[in-house]
């Protein structure tokens, strides 16, 4: 039995040396290159390096001080508690993809790179395809192909620019393999003007364990007196007119999942066309034993 698997949810490992064979770890490999011991997902280990966790904690402490100075200390503490206990990972997909995923329990949810490289979807137009590989490569290097994208949400809703069916994943399915980024990765790379050889800024990534600090630090400057969960949900997942104007805390899930990983499904209205509506009806039929709810139009 792998002892790290048992303890990972308490304290994710970021070992420099393999606990099994004692040899130096390759930071971007999940398994030890010598003995194949499971070292934990590389995105989680990267987010849990001491300099990263200290960076996030430092930003959280500064935000807490700012909230006191601005008279929103109670809101800040309540927000942090909400993030800790009531946020989940949500993935936005199209109705047709959701239907296909739910209809076939053998199907695994894969990321863009896996689908393109596996020959089961066409690449996006060259301009967007190259941007996608560049941004993912900057954040993850070779294991970008193992990352699936979602976001952190209070109310089960995601960004509608990415799909109108929003799939909330069970915490147990992702908490040991998910890391979070301060912002959508495209916007993050652009905001920090990251070049191929730029180091990633410290304190803007976290794991499931310290998501409270990352999110509270991000949202503090937008907190107003008397605000509550409804406003915070909109601050955390903020739909813009275009993807460029969307705001979120992006979730990076290492590895695939199947439909048994789903906790809940939300969808926006009943779709934009007849096919969407048919797909959503089928989704409701299949997933009817759990909560499926529509947004107010
Ligand atoms: Zn080893």
Domain chopping of the chain, boundaries: 1-40, 50-294
Give the Å distance between the CA of 38 and the centre of ligand 1. Answer: 8
**pLDDT score at 4:** 41
**pLDDT score at 6:** 40
Give the Å distance between the CA of 137 and the centre of ligand 1. Answer: 26
% pLDDT > 90, the chain: 65
- Taking residues 253-271, report their average pLDDT: 88
- Taking residues 182-209, report their average pLDDT: 95
Tokens encoding 159: 């960004």
Residue 151: pLDDT band (50, 70, 90) is very high
Does the pLDDT value for residue 69 go beyond 50? yes
Output the average pLDDT for the chain: 89
Give the Å distance between the CA of 22 and the centre of ligand 1. Answer: 6
Residues 6+ apart with CB under 8 A from 100: 107
Give the Å distance between the CA of 39 and the centre of ligand 1. Answer: 9
Q: Output 121 or 193, whichever has higher pLDDT.
A: 193
Residue 187: pLDDT band (50, 70, 90) is very high
CA distance readout (Å), 175 to 89, 152, 253, 283: 9, 12, 9, 25
Q: Among 268, 270, 262, 269, which Cα is nearest to 286's?
A: 262
Give the Å distance between the CA of 46 and the centre of ligand 1. Answer: 18
Does the pLDDT value for residue 167 go beyond 70? yes
Give the Å distance between the CA of 36 and the centre of ligand 1. Answer: 6
Q: Among 148, 151, 149, which Cα is nearest to 236's?
A: 151
**Strands 88-93 and 165-169, bridge-based pairing:** antiparallel
């Amino acid at each position: 039995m792998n002892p790290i698997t048992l303890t990972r949810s308490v304290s994710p490992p970021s070992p420099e040396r393999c606990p099994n064979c004692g040899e130096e770890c390759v930071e971007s490999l999940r398994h030890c290159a010598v003995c194949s011991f499971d070292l934990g997902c590389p995105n989680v280990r990267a987010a849990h390096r001491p300099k990263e966790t200290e960076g996030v904690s430092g930003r959280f402490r500064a935000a807490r001080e700012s909230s006191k100075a601005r008279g929103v200390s109670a809101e800040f503490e309540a927000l942090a508690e909400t993030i800790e206990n009531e946020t989940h990972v949500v993935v936005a997909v199209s109705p047709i993809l959701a239907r296909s995923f739910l209809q076939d329990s053998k199907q695994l949810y894969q990321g863009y790179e896996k689908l393109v490289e596996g020959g089961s979807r066409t690449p996006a137009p060259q301009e967007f395809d190259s941007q996608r590989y560049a941004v993912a490569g900057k954040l993850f290097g070779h294991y970008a192909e193992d990352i699936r994208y979602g976001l952190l949400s209070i109310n089960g809703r995601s960004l509608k620019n990415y799909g109108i069916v929003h799939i909330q994943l069970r915490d147990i399915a992702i908490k040991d393999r998910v890391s979070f980024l301060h912002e959508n990765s495209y916007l993050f790379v652009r905001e920090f003007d990251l070049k191929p050889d730029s180091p990633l800024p410290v304190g803007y990534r976290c794991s499931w364990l310290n998501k409270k600090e990352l999110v509270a630090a991000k949202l503090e400057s937008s907190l107003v007196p008397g605000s509550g969960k409804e406003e915070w949900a909109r601050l955390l997942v903020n739909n813009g007119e275009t993807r460029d104007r969307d705001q979120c805390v992006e979730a990076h899930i290492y590895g695939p999942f199947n439909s048994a990983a789903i906790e809940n499904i939300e969808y926006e209205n009943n779709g934009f066309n007849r096919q969407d509506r048919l797909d959503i009806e089928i989704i409701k039929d299949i997933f009817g034993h759990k909560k499926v709810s529509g947004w107010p139009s």
